[in-house]
Amino acid sequence: MSTLSPDVIQRIRSAKNILFLTGAGISSESGIPTFRGEGGYWKTFKAEELATPEAFENHPDVVWEWYDWRRGICLDAKPNEGHLTIAKWQSLSPSINLITQNVDGLHSRAGSKNLLEIHGNIFRARCTSCREKFSLGEDGINQPGLKFCPVCESLLRPDIVWFGEGYDNKLLTKAWELSKVAHIVFVIGTSANVSVPANLALTAIRNGALGIEINPETTTLTPSMQVHFGGKSGEVLPEIFKEVFPDTKRN
Ligand code: OAD
């Protein structure tokens, strides 16, 4: 189904550094609503209205309730063929890297290594005062709604980068480095509405990487890509993998 040209297949095979850049779309086949799609609403709120420092300042209880709900969905979800194919691909070489905007933890549950979660992780909280980090869930802090720091008793917040907030410098520096040296960049399941991830993809392309986008829709990045697959990542990625490595077993 994927049908890459022989030239592109050859470029992928001979590429040393491959970068996968993923967004919410890769997890939609696992049942996790995307941010800007139909499921991006909770009660009457849009996801973009809740994932902000202002929303947390004004209504920390509502924001925590929303994240508790999303965390439950993430916990029940299973990695799909898209996540699993990237993990399998990464197991072939240490220079295949993955940068995700997703906070759902599904890439690491699929077995991905060399993973940068640039927007944080929904299974972690950090203290608004001492910045100490804690796991959430059965093995960590588990009460619903507002949560407090066991060290200093201040309010905890989700360990997630919200709209209008800066990124973790160390993670971002590493992400820029990876995008500059990539020979191939796969851009998967992102609307490219957030500027940092979109610019990571563009940086790779400006530095000579071949860009392959997998998304049922076109995005602002599509014109910069050499290849666009208008399909679901859980279907397209295994096909690409099969074409590039016809002799490698999937599992
Ligand atoms: P969006 O919800 O903006 O975009 C999801 C993209 O996935 C859309 O372009 C869809 O067309 C595409 N898509 C849907 N199903 C797909 C499938 N099965 N296979 C491939 N693509 C599919 O999500 P992001 O671009 O990830 O930030 O959003 C970026 C950031 O905005 C998120 O990380 C989040 C949000 O605010 C934080 O939470 C910090």
CATH code, domain carrying 223: 3.40.50.1220
Atom of ligand 1 nearest to the CA of 29: 18
Q: Which residues line ligand 1 (CB under 6 A)?
A: 23-26, 28-29, 34-37, 48, 51, 101, 103, 119, 160-162, 189-191, 193-194, 214-217, 219, 232-233
The confidence band for 152, taking pLDDT boundaries of 50, 70 and 90, is very high
Tell whether residue 5 is among the known ligand binding residues.
no
Q: What are phi and psi of 20, to 5 degrees?
A: -100, 130
Q: What average pLDDT does range 92-100 have in this prediction? A: 97
Q: Given 105, 134, 160, which residue is the final one in a domain? A: 160
The confidence band for 140, taking pLDDT boundaries of 50, 70 and 90, is confident
Residue 90 falls within a domain, yes or no? Answer: yes
Distance from first CA to last CA of the chain, Å, rounded?
20
Tell whether residue 216 is among the known ligand binding residues.
yes
Answer yes or no: do 211 and 222 share one domain. Answer: yes
Residue 12 falls within a domain, yes or no? Answer: yes
Answer yes or no: do 238 and 156 share one domain. Answer: no
Answer yes or no: do 22 and 83 share one domain. Answer: yes
Distance 130 CA to ligand 1 centre (A): 32
Atom of ligand 1 nearest to the CA of 216: 11
Q: Is the dihedral of CA 73, 74, 78, 83 positive or negative?
A: positive
- Is 119 an annotated catalytic residue? yes
Answer yes or no: do 128 and 41 share one domain. Answer: yes
Query: Which candidate in 83, 107, 119, 228 is catalytic?
Result: 119
Answer yes or no: do 108 and 209 share one domain. Answer: yes
Atom of ligand 1 nearest to the CA of 102: 33
Number of independent structural domains in the chain: 2
Look up the domain containing 235 and give its range.
Answer: 1-32+79-119+167-246
Between β-strands 120-127 and 156-160, what pairing exists: parallel, antiparallel or unpaired?
Answer: antiparallel
Any idea what the CATH number is for the domain that residue 70 is in? 3.30.1600.10
Answer yes or no: do 26 and 40 share one domain. Answer: no
Answer yes or no: do 47 and 67 share one domain. Answer: yes
The span from the CA of 106 to the CA of 149, in Å, is 26
Q: What is the share, in percent, of the chain residues with pLDDT greater than 90?
A: 87
The confidence band for 248, taking pLDDT boundaries of 50, 70 and 90, is confident
pTM of the predicted protein model:
0.95
Identify which has the larger pLDDT, 49 or 250. Answer: 49
Answer yes or no: do 28 and 136 share one domain. Answer: no
Answer yes or no: do 237 and 188 share one domain. Answer: yes
pLDDT in tens, 193-216: 999 999 999 999 999 999 999 999
Answer yes or no: do 135 and 240 share one domain. Answer: no
Pocket test for ligand 1, best of 101, 200, 228 (most atoms within 8 A of CB): 101
Residue 251 falls within a domain, yes or no? Answer: no
Answer yes or no: do 7 and 43 share one domain. Answer: no
- Token pair for residue 33? 């609503």
Answer yes or no: do 223 and 173 share one domain. Answer: yes
- Token pair for residue 11? 């470029």
Residue 67: its H or E element? helix 60-76
pLDDT in tens, 101-133: 999 999 999 999 999 999 999 999 999 999 999
